[in-house]
Amino acid sequence: MVETLSIAVIGAPGVGKTSIIRQFIYNDFSEAYTPTRTRYVFRPSVILNGNMYELKILDVPPISSFPASASQEWLDLRCRGVRNANAYILVYDICCVESFEYVKMIKQQIMENRYAHIIPPLLFLKIKPLMCNLLPSLLVSYIKLPGYLETSHKAF
Ligand SMILES: Nc1nc2c(ncn2[C@@H]2O[C@H](COP(=O)(O)OP(=O)(O)O)[C@@H](O)[C@H]2O)c(=O)[nH]1
Ligand SMILES: [Mg+2]
């Protein structure tokens, strides 16, 4: 039987979540910005080490916090499936401190609220907007953490 793995992609609005997913699945990048207002599920299949997996990638629209209970998750359509994801991709924009503070908060809430406190893999990604020369020092420590990846969808 093919195993299904769900991955929730979370981050502040406009940091590039949908772009990351679309590039991964369709190898496609668009300059146009269409804000994600409802939760969208992408279902690609991948082969890893000879095994096939079905991925359920949740493109999560802006949420004020990680759902603290199953009922909260159920009542808020944007959060469906977020609590039980197998992994989280937390995306921020390196030029936007607020977007980094947001993923830090979400990471903390994931660790506090996951069922049985099982910590799933966490992955941090960022995008690099054009003209950005700033690297706020608080971001530097995160770059050294395992699981941190740097990405960009364009050649600069
Ligand atoms: N320069 C640059 N722009 C990006 C990058 N990734 C996404 N964008 C742009 O940022 C905007 C928001 O991207 P989107 O994926 O819709 O963000 P989301 O709201 O987090 O899903 C769009 O106009 C994208 O074209 C990147 O790596 N570099
Ligand atoms: Mg989006």
According to the model, what pLDDT value does residue 8 have? 93
In a domain, 155, yes or no: no
Pure H helices in the chain: 17-26, 70-75, 97-113, 137-143
Atom of ligand 1 at shortest distance to CA of 33? 23
Q: In a 3-state reduction of DSSP, which class is residue 78?
A: helix
Decide if 153 is inside a domain.
no
Q: Which ligand approaches the C-alpha of residue 94 most closely?
A: 1
If one counts the domains in the chain, the total is: 1
Does residue 91 form part of some domain?
Answer: yes
Q: Is residue 156 part of a domain?
A: no
CATH assignment at residue 84:
3.40.50.300
Q: Is the CB of 150 under 6 A from ligand 1?
A: no
Tell me, yes or no, whether 13 lies in a domain. Answer: yes
Per-residue pLDDT of the chain (156 residues; tens, 9 = 90+): 888 999 999 999 998 899 889 888 888 888 888 887 888 999 999 888 888 989 999 999 989 999 998 898 989 989 899 998 988 888 888 788 899 899 989 988 988 887 655 666 777 766 655 444 444 444 444 444 455 565 655 533
Residue 94 Cα to ligand 1 midpoint, Å, equals 12
Domain housing 109: 3-143
Find the helix or strand (DSSP H, E) in which 86 lies.
none
Residue 96 resides in a domain = yes
Q: Is the CB of 131 under 6 A from ligand 1?
A: no
Query: 148, exposed or middle or buried, with CB in 10 Å at 0-12, 13-18, 19+?
Result: middle
Please indicate, yes or no, if residue 128 is contained in any of the structural domains. Answer: yes
In the reported structure, the alpha carbon of residue 111 is separated from the centroid of ligand 1 by a whole-number distance in angstroms of 27
* Ligand 1 contact, 37 CB (< 6 A): no
Kindly state the tokens that stand for 34: 């269409």
Please tell me the residue having the least CA distance from ligand 1 atom 6. 16
8-state DSSP, 97 = H
| Burial class of residue 65, CB neighbours in 10 A (0-12, 13-18, 19+) | exposed
- For residue 135, is it within any domain? yes
3: how many CB neighbours lie within 10 A of its CB?
10
Residues ≥6 apart with Cβ < 8 Å to 55: 4, 5, 6, 7, 42, 43, 44, 45, 46
